Amino acid sequence: MPAIEARGIRKEYDSTVALRSIDLSISEGGVVGLLGPNGAGKTTLVEIFEGLRRPTAGTVSVLGLDPSSQTRQLKERIGVQLQTTALPQELTVFEVLRLFASFYESARPVAEVLEMVDLVELAKQKASTLSGGQRQRLVLGIALIHSPELILLDEPTTGLDPVARRDLHALIRELRDQGRTMLLTTHYIEEAEHLCDRVIMIRGGEIVADGTPFDLVGQSTDSSIIWISVDGEMDPTPLFQAGIEPLGRQGQHHKFSTTDPTATVLALGDMLRSQGLQLLDLRMKRPTLEDVYLELMRDEDVAPDPAEDGSGGDPSEGAS
């Protein structure tokens, strides 16, 4: 049985359509990333799975339960990290965890959770004094307190510094190794690439790509990029004849684009030999998930969110 099964989900708010028609099946185990720009519908989709929102149309089954009617049973079995989590004021880390533990039929010992999210030493500290990363670990601890079968994390790393983010990634990998199913939303592409077993890209309320990061990159039509540095004046004309595109030159540094890197490197070797030049540096870059993402998000005329059209900031952040 899949952890999440969604058929034809549509969600409309007053006049806007947040989700058009989502079909999705997520099997048990592993980390699934929901990737998309702000306003793409990620949070709406996750909140439908959590039972916080009802879809306008379509059917959802989470752990075999209907989130809108079997809410209570479902809540016992899913762990949730909301995009912004307010914590009860004036409480210590330990007290926060103990409170949430009391809401569940069965919960881990608080000490175990503290260990798991590495907050043992901060247990007696007021939750309001934690740093961003510590706070996020506490929030994750709350989501894990009842050993949920499915964990839904909405932008768990947004706003964290790189070290805190790396720590959190390690924690998520650990949970994956324990065999848990996790669905996380993010707009950090490298997070999805490094952390997720499966990436679902969503844009304008629709799924635009779905697969392992490797598959997604492999599907890409993009060329690889090759940089070289040589010890003299190079004439790149022979390369052009072999179908290699020049991207620019700065003195002895050259940049090319190619759809066939192997052929390009061989041709480059031959040419340097014939011109009696020495190769000082050679770099090649395969297309990344970012390239795939940017390509997917760019090529259609998506109406820009009016809130993001202004003079800066990130006003749509946190909007659900």
**Which DSSP string corresponds to 127-138?**
GGG--HHHHHHH
Q: Specify the residue, 81 or 134, whose C-beta has the smaller distance to another protein.
A: 81
Nearest partner of 189 among 302, 32, 318, 33, judged by Cα: 33
Q: Which residue number, 75 or 187, has a Cβ lying nearer to another protein?
A: 75
Which CB, 97 or 267, lies closer to another protein? Answer: 97
Whose structure tokens read 């210590």? 92
* Residue nearer to another protein on the CB measure, 88 or 218: 88
Identify the bridge partners of residue 12 per DSSP, sorted by sequence position: 17
Q: Say whether residue 203 binds another protein (CB under 8 A).
A: no
Q: For the CB of residue 302, give the shortest distance to another protein in the complex, in Å.
A: 26
Q: Is 49 in the site for another protein (CB under 8 A)?
A: no
Determine contact, residues 236/264, Cβ cutoff 8 Å. no
- Nearer residue to another protein within complex by CB, 66 or 76: 76
Find the length of the chain: 320
Nearer of residues 63 and 217 to another protein, judged by Cβ: 63
Cβ atoms within 10 Å, residue 168: 21
Q: Which of 103, 109, 120, 218 binds another protein (CB under 8 A)?
A: 103
Nearest approach in angstroms of CB 111 to another protein is 16
Cα separation, 151 vs 298, in Å, equals 31
Which residues between 122 and 151 bind another protein (CB under 8 A)?
142
- Cβ 124 to another protein, closest distance in Å? 13
Helices 132-144 & 162-177 angle (0-180, nearest 10): 20
Q: Is 52 in the site for another protein (CB under 8 A)?
A: yes
Strands (E), 137-205: 150-154, 181-186, 198-203
Out of 6, 11, 37, 50, point to the residue binding another protein (CB under 8 A).
Answer: 50
Range 208-226 burial, b when 16+ CB lie within 10 A, else e: bbbeebeebbeebebbbbb
Site string for another protein, 63-102 (x = CB under 8 A): ---------x--xx-x-x-x-xxxxxxxx---x--xxx-x
C-alpha 135/C-alpha 260 separation (Å) is: 47
Count of positions on this chain that bind another protein (CB under 8 A)? 26
For the bound state, the minimum distance from the C-beta of residue 293 to another protein, rounded and expressed in Å, comes to 29
Interface positions with another protein (CB under 8 A): 50-52, 72, 75-76, 78, 80, 82, 84-91, 95, 98-100, 102-105, 142
